[in-house]
Amino acid sequence: MPGNATLSVDGQTYELPTLVGSEGEKAIDISKLRDRSGYITYDPGLGNTGMCKSSITYIDGDKGILRYRGIPIEQFANHPNFIEVAWLLINGRLPQPEELAGFSAKLTANAPLHEAMRHHFEGFPVNAPPMAVVSAMISTLACFHHQFLTIEDDAHFEELAARLISKVRTIAAYAYKRSQGRPFIYPDPRLRYCANFLHMMFSMPYDQYLVDPDIEDALNLIFILHADHEQNCSTTTVRVVGSSKANLFASCAAGVSALWGPLHGGANVEVMEMLDKIHKGGVTPEAYLAQAKDKSNPARLMGFGHRVYKNYDPRAKLLQQACERVFAKLKRKDPLLDIARKLEELALKDPYFVDRKLYPNVDFYSGLIFRAIGIPTEMFTVMFVIGRLPGWIAQWKEQHDMESGKIVRPRQVYTGKTINDFVPMEQRIKA
C-alpha cells in the first residue's frame, strides 16, 4: 500500500489517502480536497482522473491488454458467443448452461418490437442518420416498457437487459430497412442472436437470407470485441446520465449519442471514407499520411491512436485476423483492404506515429468486415452500438448498485467576467 500522498500549497500541507486497484492501478483520493484546501483539481478530458471503481473491464494500454471480468479477450476468439459474454459482463461470472439458455430464451421472446413502435419508423425520412433513429427508438422503449423505469431486483434487471439487448438488434435492422425502402422482416425465433440480426437485415418476404456460419462467428466476435472498454466517452455518458437515477433506456440513448462522434464510435465510418478517398485516386497512402502528420491539415489517420492504448489495440489484431478469414471465406477482394494494409505498414515504421505510440485501434479493420458482409457504411456505428450495449448495461448496473451512488457533478475553473451589472436596453443602445 503506497501510504498517503502529501500536497503542499499556500503554506499548508495536506495528507491525501491513496488506493491501489487489483492490477496495481494507483490513485490519490481527492474526494475531500476542496473541503480541506479550497482547491479543486483541473483535468480537461479527465485523462488523469478515475471517476469510479469498477470490476468489469481491465485495460493495460502500455501492454495492449484487454480483459472482461479478468478473462483476456483473445480467449473468446475460438468460440465467439456474444450473448455469453454479455451475460458475463453484466453478472460478473460465466453463466451456467441453464442460465445462458434462460437468458437466450428471454432474448428470443423479446426480439419483436411493439407494433405501434414499428410504425414510428415510417415517420423518419429515408435518409435519416441511423444513429439518430437508434438513439430515438431506444429512448422510445421507455414509452412501451414503463415497468422498467425503476429496477425492483436482479431478476427484474435481467429481464430489462434482455429486452434492451434483443430489441436494439431489431431497431438497428429496421433503421436499415427503412433507409433502403424495403419491408421490415420479423425476427425468427429459431435463429441465434447474430443470425437473427442478419436475417432481419437482409431477408426479404420472398427470399430468406441464408446465414453463413463463418460470418455468424465473425459477427459474434466483432460484437464481443466492442462489448466493453472501461470508462470510454460513451460509457462515461451512460454512467453520468444514470447517476441522476434516470432509467436505463434514457442512459443508453445518451450513450448512443456520445458514440456517434467521429473521434469515438464514428471513427469506423471515417476510416472507410478515408480509404475510399485514397482508393478514388484523390491521394496516395504516402500523401495521406503526410496530411495526417501536418498540423495545419485537419486530416487524421482515422482508426489509429487511442487515449489509453499506447500499443497495438488487442481488438485490432483480432479484427484484422477476422477480416482475413471473412475475405477468404467470401472469396472477396477489396482494394480498400490493400490500402488499409499499406497505411498500417507505412505508419508502423513512421517516426511520427511510432514516437506518439499511435497504433491501429478497434475501428481500423471493423468497417472492412462489415462492408464484406454487406452492411453499408452509414450502419457501421450502429453495429458498434449493438456490440457496446452489454457493456453500457453492466456499467450502469454497477453504478446503480453502489449504495453511495452520487450524482456526477464536476466542478469548473471559472474564467468569465467578474461581478457585472444589468444595463437596461435604452442605456445599451450604442451612442
Contacting positions for ligand SDX (CB under 6 A): 229, 232-233, 263-264, 267, 292, 300-308, 356, 358, 361-363
Look up 363 and say whether it is catalytic. yes
Beta carbons of 356 and 305 less than 8 angstroms apart? yes
The distance of Cα 104 from the centroid of its chain, to the nearest Å, equals: 22
Task: Between 45 and 424, name the residue whose CB sits nearer to ligand SDX.
Answer: 45
Shortest spacing between CB 353 and ligand SDX, in angstroms: 7
What is the CB neighbour count within 10 angstroms for residue 148?
A: 20
Catalytic residue, candidates 226, 228, 306, 313? 306
CB of 354 to ligand SDX, least distance (A): 11
Least distance to ligand SDX from the beta carbon of 289, Å? Answer: 9
Nearest CA among 269, 272, 260 for reference residue 233: 260
Nearest to 392 by CA among 257, 255, 298, 202: 255
Task: Name the residue nearer to ligand SDX (CB basis): 158 or 350.
Answer: 350
Closer residue to ligand SDX, CB minimum distance, 201 or 292: 292
Continuous H helices in 125-192: 130-144, 154-180
Query: How far, in Å, CA of 402 to CA of 412, rounded?
Result: 25
Which C-beta is closer to ligand SDX: that of 90 or that of 162? Answer: 90
Reading the block at residue 150, the C-alpha cell is 425503476
Min dist. Cβ of residue 282 to ligand SDX (A): 18
Per the annotation, the verdict on 228 as an active-site residue is: no
**Nearest approach, Cβ of residue 351 and ligand SDX (Å):** 12
Number of DSSP helices (H) and strands (E) in the chain, helices first: 18, 7
| Active-site residue (options: 363, 400, 401, 421) | 363
Residue 6, helix vs strand vs coil: strand
Sign, Cα dihedral of 278, 279, 281, 282: negative
Catalytic residues: 306, 363
